[in-house]
Structure 1
Amino acid sequence: MKILVTGSAGFIGMFLSKKLLERGDIVVGIDNLNDYYDVNLKLGRLKELGVELENEHLDSSKESVKFENFTFIKADISDNVHIDKIFKENNFDAVCNLAAQAGVRYSIENPHTYVQSNVVGFLNILEGCRNYNVKNLCFASSSSVYGLNKTQPFKTSDSTDHPVSLYAATKKSNELMGHTYAHLYGIHTTGVRFFTVYGPWGRPDMAPMLFTDAILNNRPIKVFNNGNMSRDFTYVGDIVNGLVKIIDNPASSSNSWDANNPSPDISSANYKLYNIGNNKPIKLLDFIKTIEKHLKKEADKEMLPMQDGDVESTFADVDDLILDLNYQPSVNLDEGIEAFVKWYKEFYKMQDK
C-alpha cells in the first residue's frame, strides 16, 4: 500500500512509519517540524527513517537514504494548498493522521494553535481524502476526550460530552468530523483514542522524560494531585501494532447500530472508534518507582495539587480491539521503562553514575 503518515517526525508517527516501511509499504511522511519542543529530537527520529536534515537547513522534501520506499515532506496540515498538492501528486491507498498540536496543559495557554492544527488541519486531511478518493483513513484521538467521566474502565460507547481541556475538545471534534465524512462520502474512518503512550523517542513534555531529566540532574519532580493519580501507560510498540491492524482493516458499518439508541463508537456509516491502551492502569507513584529503579537513583518529589485540565485516572477498555483485530499489548511497565531509560542515556550521551 501507499500510505500517508502525518506527524511522521513525531513520537508515534516515526515508529508507525518505520513499521510500515519495514514490511514493504510505500510511505509518504509529512511533519511541520515546529518548535513546540526540541526540533533536534524530531530530526533524530527522521534519522531513524533514513532522512538526515540539519536544524538550520530543513528541506521541504527529502528522499530517505535508508528506506527507498520513504519520502519525507516538510508540510503543515493546516496549509490547505500544500496538503491538496500532496494528495493530488500521490495516489494514496490509506492515510493515518497523527499530526496534531499535543499537550493538555499547553492548550490552556495557546488555544488558537490547537484549533488551527487539530481542527483546521484535520479538515484539510478529510478534504484530501474526499477529493482524491482515499477510502481508508485512521486518525489520532485521545483518552482526554473522556473528561469528567468517572466510570472506569473507559468504554468507547461512553458519553464524551464533557471535556475538561481545549485539547480534548479538539479531539472530540475530530471524531465528529470523521463520522460526518464517513457518512457523506463513504470514507472508511477509524478514530483511535491513545492512552498515555511512552517509550524511546518520547516527547519531552511527558512524564517519563520530565521525571528522568529531573532525577538525573538533581531537580525535584513535580507530582500532581499529591501522587493520587493513575494512568493506563501504554508502550509505543503496542500502540503501533494496534495502528497497523487498524490500517489493514478499514472500518465498516456496524450491524449493532440502533438509530433509536445510538452509540458514539459505531455507525451505519463506515466508522469506528477504538481505545488503544494497556488495559492495566498504574499508580503514578509506582510509575516513578520503576523509573527510579532503572536510573538507580531516588527522586526528590514535590507534591502539588491537581492541575487544571487534568484527570485523576485513565483506564482503557480495549475489548473491542481485542475482539475485532486480536490486539494484544505485550510490553509490561518494567520492560518499557528499561527500554526508555536505555534510549534516553544513549540519545543524551549520559552514563550510569
Structure 2
Amino acid sequence: MLYKIEEQATVFKKLEPLEFKDFSSFGKLADNLENLIASSILDVLFEEARLMPAFQRKQRPVGADIYALNEIGELLLFSLKRSTDGEDAVNQALRYMQNAGQWSYQKLEEKFIRHSQNETSLVQAHKEAFGLEHELEPEKMNNKQHLLVIGSAADQSLISHVDYWKKNGISIYYLPYRFYELAGENYFEFFALPHDQHKNPRVVKGVIFDTNRRWDENSIWSMIDNSRLEAYGDAKNFVHDIHVDDIVFFSHEWCGLIAAAKVKGEIKVLDSETLYRDVEFLTPTPNRKDNRMLAMPFSQVKLKTGKTFFWARTVKIPYLSKSEALELVEVLNNYLYQT
C-alpha cells in the first residue's frame, strides 16, 4: 500500500492511504497487462530472483502465462489476472499446474527449444544459467510445480481462493499489484517473493554485464574502442538497469571477465538495435591484435566474491555493493596485469 505522509510543524504526524485502481479501470485489454508484466517479470519485478525463463504462452486460452525453472529444476507457473475473476480463475490456473506436472522431460525440453529457438538442450541451458558444476539429471526436472497468481490487491475473491488451496497443501502464492494515478502519471506497485528485494537506483552498485557475444562476435570491439557499454536487439533495454557511477564488469562468454569500467553517461541510441552508455575503464582493456583474450575465469569470480551468479541474463545477478565492486576491480586488475 502507498501512503501519503501528513506533516505538521516539520513533524511526520499521520499516514494517509492513497486510492488505487484496478487495471480494468484504464480500459486496457487483458493482453496489455500480461505483456507489460511478462516483459518485466524476471528482469525488473523479480530483480534478484534466480529464475530461468522456460517459455511463455503465445496464444489463448490454454496454459499459464509464463513458465520458469529454479535452480533445482522445479517449474514455476505465473498466471496473470487483469480484473476480478474469482474461483474460476484459480481453478483454471490449478488445471494448468496439474497439466504441467505431467509433462515428461522431453515435452518440457521441446517447449523450451521451440520458445528459445535454439538447439541447446534444456539441461545444458539450465546448467549454464545457474553456473552449475554438472547438468541436472533429466528425471529431476519438473519434479515439483509452484503456481504464482498475479492479480489486483483489491480482488478479495481471488485472494481467498488462493488462500484456501494454500492451506490445503498446494504450492500456490498470490502476488498483488496496484495501479496509482498521481499528478497525471500512472504508477504500478508490485510485491515480489520472498521479500520484494530491489536495489535502490540511487545507490551505486556493481554489475556483471554480458558482452552479447552470441549477438555479434565483434561487438566487444565497438565497446572497447569507443569506451561504451552496449546492448543489442531484444537485450538492449538492459542498459536501463545500469546507472551513472555504477561499476560494470564486461562478461565475455566462454572467457570470463575481460574489463571493468565506471558508467559516465546517460543512455544513448546508436541505431534501432543498439542502446549504450559511455564508460571510463578501470582496468586494462583487450587488444584486438592479441591472439588471445585475457580474462578472469568465471570460477575465479565466484571464488573471489563468494557469490553464485545467475549467468543466463545479460545483467547477471546478484548485484554487487559498491565496496564489493571496488574489491573485484582490484582483484581483476591484479589478475590482468599478472597474466
> When the two structures are superposed, what TM-score results if normalisation uses the length of structure 1?
0.24
Higher relative contact order (CA 8 A, sep 6+): 1
